[in-house]
Structure 1
Amino acid sequence: MQSAHGQVGVNMDELIITPEDQDTYRLIANGDPVPNGRDVSRLLAAGLVETDRTVREPGRYVALDPYTAVQQAVGTQQVALQQAIHTLQVALRSVGQIPVLESLSAQYRHQPLYVDGSEVVPFGQLMNARIGQAMAGATSEVYAAQPGRPVDRDPDVQRVGQERVLATLARGVLYRGLFQVAALAHEPTAAYVAKVLKAGGDVRIYDGEFPRMVVIDGQHLFIDNRLTPDAERNSGGYVHDRLVVHWARYLFDLYWREATPWRVASGEEGQTVTSSIQRAILRSLAEGVTVQQVGPRVGLKERAVQKHLATLRGKLGFETRDQLMVWWARSEEYEMP
């Protein structure tokens, strides 16, 4: 079984974490150097630490979430348990006991292994390790919103993050990246986005403010640390409450629908006057729906609908909504999704 950071997982019955290992883990978690000669192989094998790839100094490690290691160990034991159950079923079948077990199945209630909650991650280095650990195990989707200017980001952290995204795409995982307008003029970011698009990912530009977040598989959410005013740069929060994670994914979708595809924003493809959400508003109005009724249809408040209409009138130089609707009826964008 593969662990989140690429090490081979182990059966916890076969791997003993010694008191010295526990002390080593505490030192790494606190950001202290590991004493010379200290063996970290068992911590690496158990998925409790990984080599720090953001620095070039050898012998530096990053502590990983013990909860994930526990999940891996439980998964291994579940496989062994399933094999044992199969053997038992074969034996019981010979003495006619399977119907008895089947009658008991109605009384069983699944106890979820996943524990809801959240974690404040106070150090940027540890935050990056948490994100990397979750992305390495991604199986379906990764949604990332990065509102910061590329020039303000740590180059090493940025490089590691980009390598993770490309590796995730190589496994066939859906990736959507949301950037601010300044990313268009940043050549290294543009070169990276070209690789993402070529690998099958999708990137869009949002002209406005939006929150930083990474949503993975509908199970993991990484956000800024808003609890501590003087929080370390790149620190944040790791949320694995399913209700909150899915709410954040919905919020990402709202920004995503109003964002402009990278190739359009960068001029690689023809510019459009309307966004997809604006086209949805115009279609509703063309059907005779009132502005008050449009909001629930497209998932916006009435004020937001009015703002979109005002923006379009400004772009086109129109003063009235009727002028806008006449233009819409004749526009080539009428057939666009």
Structure 2
Amino acid sequence: MPHLPDLPDLPVTTTDRETYRVIAAGGAPPASQDMHRLLDLGLITADPYQPARYIAHDPRAVAQRVLADTQSTIAQALQCMAELPVIEGLASDFDPHRWYGGPASEWLPTRDEMNARIGEALRDASSEMLTAQPGAPVDRDPAVQQMGMDRVLDLVDRGLSVKSIYTAAVQEHAQTRTHLAAITEAGAEVATLQETFPRMVLIDRTHLFIDNHVMAAERDSGWHVFDRAGVAWAHTIYQQLWARADRWQNGQAPDGVLTERQKMILRVLDEGEPQQRIAPRLSLSERTVTKDIAAARAAVGAKTVYQLMSWWGRQTAE
């Protein structure tokens, strides 16, 4: 591709225009006047027979020439821009040989955009999808549930490894239990965890999708992270969570959402005893009680003790 031509030095100033008028009328410009812009544009040339005098040229011809040069420059610039995707595409050859590569992350302002980007990443996935779902289970639209099921079945049929970690509270939620039994029967792996863990989706150790921890007010937004170091770190964290989780085997959840000691604590709370009185009543340390309550909240996906006791009330009422 030829080198882009240099465009003229514009705009023509008021002084330049006054100087041109003097020369066009046959006069001589002041000796101190800067003539370079008029000369470069071709509006004037030096008079070979009269020193310090100039000859004016038709400005319409000059304008047509500048217009043609500018149009040619724009056309060549557009050709250059059209080649940029080809140049950027070489990153796939550069990145594998470096410890880092490419931009770090992309902000996705809505849940729909997050799901759409996950879908795009899954279309090209070739090895695995790992998910961690820390939220409390809720009744979902059957159509939405079926979409999730179809996605898992497609990945398994393509030979991908599919693993999902859920809060232990899913053991008490009939709709989620049915869904998890179906996907494990299809070949996916599921585990439950009785502790707090972050939400994430990992695809092929290349894509990481997480909640928005940068702007707390943007509750439905998230981030698509594709920095190699960040994704590799998250993959390590996921493997540690998976190692601590209880496997969901043969379509059945592991027994026991809460430990017996956690149940004892909740029974005392349910009787109306304040939290600070639980430790002496059960002959436990305050630290143990606080730790067990936090673990119980995490196990059922509750953010507060009130939500935990609401969940407990539903279980004991059944």
Scaled by the length of structure 1, the TM-score of the pair is 0.45
Greater Rg over alpha carbons, structure = 2
Structure with higher RCO (Cα < 8 A, 6+ apart): 2
